[in-house]
Every structure is written in C-alpha cells, then in structure tokens.
Amino acid sequence: MKLLFVADPLPTFKIHKDSTFAMMREAQARGHEVWTCDTTDLQWQSGQSVSAALQHIHLTGQTDGWYTTLQTEVLPLHRMDAVLMRKDPPFDNEYFYATHLLSQAANEGAKVFNNPAALREHPEKLALMAFAQFASPTLVTRQADAVRAFHAEHQDIILKPLDGMGGMGIFRVKADGLNLGSIIETLNQDGRQTLMVQKFLPAITQGDKRVLLINGQPVPFALARIPQGNEVRGNLAAGGKGVAQALSERDLTIAQAMGPVLAARGLFLVGLDIIGDCLTEVNVTSPTGFREIMDQTGFDVAAMFMDALTQQIPNA
C-alpha cells in the first residue's frame, strides 16, 4: 500500500514519542510505502484533482537522520491507498480549509482517515455535547454572567478556550473567586469569544486519562497525564507525567458506548480525555499516546492501528 501521512514538517518530529512516527514505522515494517506532505502542500485547480507535492520516504532506524527522501512528486491524493490526516492542532482556519480540500479528494476517490467532514463536525471540546451523560458539569458560553452563576453553583471550576491545545489557556478558579473577572475578560474578550467552563475534578491528581479508540475499539491501556508540582494541568506539553495504565471499568463503559458511534461517523482514531469517571474532551485531530503506551506496557498500539486500517482498504 501507499500510505500518505498529512502531518507537520518532518524535521519537527520528536520520534521518541511521536505517534505518527510509530504509525510510519509499523507501516514500513509491513512493506507499505510511506509518503508525507504538509497541509501547506495541498492544492486544487479547476479541471484537476486535489494534489500535493509528496515525499516518498524511508525510515532509517537511526535517531539522527531518521528518514531519507526517496523521491518527491506532485501526485493526486486519490493515487494513494490511504490518506492519514495527522496534522496537529490548533484547529484554525487553515486546518478547516485543509479539511475541505481533503473532502474534495475523498469525493475523487481518496480514502481519508479521519473523515474530513467528521473532523469539521467534531471540534474537540464541543464534541462533548453529544455525550453529556458521561461528562462533568459543563458550560459553553460567551456570557460573563453565566460563568459567574456557574462558579457560584460549583465553587471550584476550570475555564478554557475552545481552540486551546496542550493545556494552553486553562485556568482554575476556587471558591474565593480570585481573578474570575479578569480570567473571563481574557478568555471571552468582552463577549467576542466562546469559552468552556467545567466543574473542577479532584481526580485530576490521579491523571487526565487519554483513552484511544481505533475504529471504535478501545486500546486496553490509557495514558494518564499526571500534573506535577502545583500545576493543575496534566497535559504532557504542560509538564505532566505520562503513566500508562489498564482501563478502569468506567473507562471501558464510556469507550464501548462512544466507540461505535464515533466510528460510524468516520472517526477512525479518537482520543477520549477522562478525569476520574468523567469525560472532559473528545480529541479527533491528531490523538497521541502510542509510544508511551507501547514503551510502558508492551502493547503495540501502532500494530493495532495498522491492523484496523488495512481492513478498511480493499486489496491491502
């Protein structure tokens, strides 16, 4: 198979922990061709198919110089057997436009994972609304008064922007309400930006668990991102410590309920964020955790991913 990874520039990869790299390595080990491009390479012209300047690469197995480029060629995306959208957040306008180009490529015959329309329909924080039965008390609003009322009810809350990633822009406000007004002004910019507010979950001290779903099936281990020191954020990008652990009974209940629904919507790879017993986010853009789970438990997430992917590709 020819597999195209639409991803961030290769020189930016941290291969010791990069899930896209883990997918590439597994694909090459199975004899598949690994091709790459960035969203900036995508283009469409009337009378032609969606195409991009693609790199066909070979993974060297070395830490330095981890890949070599075998060839570079402008090709229509439908010439690939599968297109894996692995561009990291943020989900900004350019990401949005890229999903439209990928949707057109899909109309032309490309098999794109995750489905581009599903990516547009499931912004990572707002996707929670469809599964409110599993969520902690949550408010999505532009209204400062609504945030203050939510705080008055729940006393200890987390506020975050809808377009944040890696723990960026997350604030905790305790019962004393210290700096609540300033935080609201910062996040909602006088009513111009929508924000999310959630009840603080003390179980964060045991970790913000990333539960992976592959074509609706849960990976049997979660990666708990545990805050360090006085930090309230467990995100690895914010200094959290990643600890792989078997799914709890509640994790499995949530995953088994949501998995088939999300897979049916075209979301092949999903990362559920669960704190304690509560779902907090649904990550669909570029879920990670493959390497940490593999390194700590021996469970090969990339192999599970590639097994499931090849089942989706005729004559793979």
Q: Which of 114, 188, 215, 283 is catalytic?
A: 283
Element (H, E) at 19: helix 19-29
Query: Fold for domain 203-299?
Result: D-amino Acid Aminotransferase; Chain A, domain 1 (3.30.470)
CB 302 within 8 A of CB 290: yes
Q: Is 225 a catalytic residue?
A: yes
- Residues 224-247: tens digit of each pLDDT: 999 886 677 656 665 778 999 999
Outline which parts of the chain fall under CATH 3.30.1490.20. 137-200
Q: Where are the beta strands (DSSP E) in 157-292?
A: 157-161, 171-173, 195-199, 208-214, 217-218, 221-226, 241-246, 269-275, 278-283
CATH architecture of 2-114: 3-Layer(aba) Sandwich (3.40)
CA distance 28 to 21: 11
Q: Which of 25, 87, 210, 291 is catalytic?
A: 210
- Asked if pLDDT for residue 10 goes beyond 90, the answer is yes
Q: Which of 26, 81, 273, 292 is catalytic?
A: 273
> How far is CA 275 from its chain centroid?
17
- Residues 59-105: tens digit of each pLDDT: 999 999 999 999 999 999 999 999 999 999 888 899 999 999 999 99
CA distance 316 to 301: 19
Q: Is 281 a catalytic residue?
A: yes
- Residues 162-200: tens digit of each pLDDT: 887 777 889 999 999 999 999 999 999 888 999 999 999
Tokens of 33: 């061709």
Tokens of 268: 């092949």
Q: Where are the beta strands (DSSP E) in the chain?
A: 2-6, 33-37, 51-59, 67-76, 82-85, 112-113, 138-141, 157-161, 171-173, 195-199, 208-214, 217-218, 221-226, 241-246, 269-275, 278-283
CB atoms within 10 A of CB 74: 11
Q: Which of 26, 225, 235, 251 is catalytic?
A: 225
Q: Is 14 a catalytic residue?
A: no
CB 112 within 8 A of CB 102: yes
The CA distances from residue 297 to 111, 220, 246, in Å, are 32, 10, 9
Instruction: Give the dihedral sign, CA 227/232/238/239.
Output: negative
CB 259 within 8 A of CB 216: yes
Residue type, 16: H
Q: Is 233 a catalytic residue?
A: yes
Outline which parts of the chain fall under CATH 3.40.50.20. 2-114
Tokens of 112: 């794109």
Q: Is 283 a catalytic residue?
A: yes
- The β-bridge partners of 283 are 271
Q: What is the pLDDT of residue 246?
A: 98
CB 212 within 8 A of CB 270: yes
Q: Which of 25, 160, 199, 209 is catalytic?
A: 160
- The β-bridge partners of 83 are 4, 112
- CATH ID of 137-200, from 3.40.50.10680, 3.30.10.20, 3.30.1490.20, 3.90.1560.10: 3.30.1490.20
Tokens of 262: 């999300």
Q: Is 300 a catalytic residue?
A: no
What is the edge-to-edge ordering of all strands in the sheet holding 112-113? 67-76, 51-59, 33-37, 2-6, 82-85, 112-113
Q: What is the pLDDT of residue 174?
A: 96
Q: What percentage of the chain has pLDDT greater than the value 70?
A: 96
CB 82 within 8 A of CB 313: yes
Q: Which of 86, 125, 199, 209 is catalytic?
A: 125
Instruction: With cut-offs at 50, 70 and 90, classify the pLDDT of residue 315.
Output: confident
- Residues 117-165: tens digit of each pLDDT: 999 999 889 999 999 999 999 999 999 999 999 999 999 999 999 887 7
As a dihedral over the C-alpha atoms of residue 141, residue 146, residue 151, residue 152, rounded to 10 degrees, the angle is -160
- Residues 231-290: tens digit of each pLDDT: 776 566 657 789 999 999 999 999 999 999 999 999 999 999 999 999 999 999 999 999
CA distance 9 to 59: 15
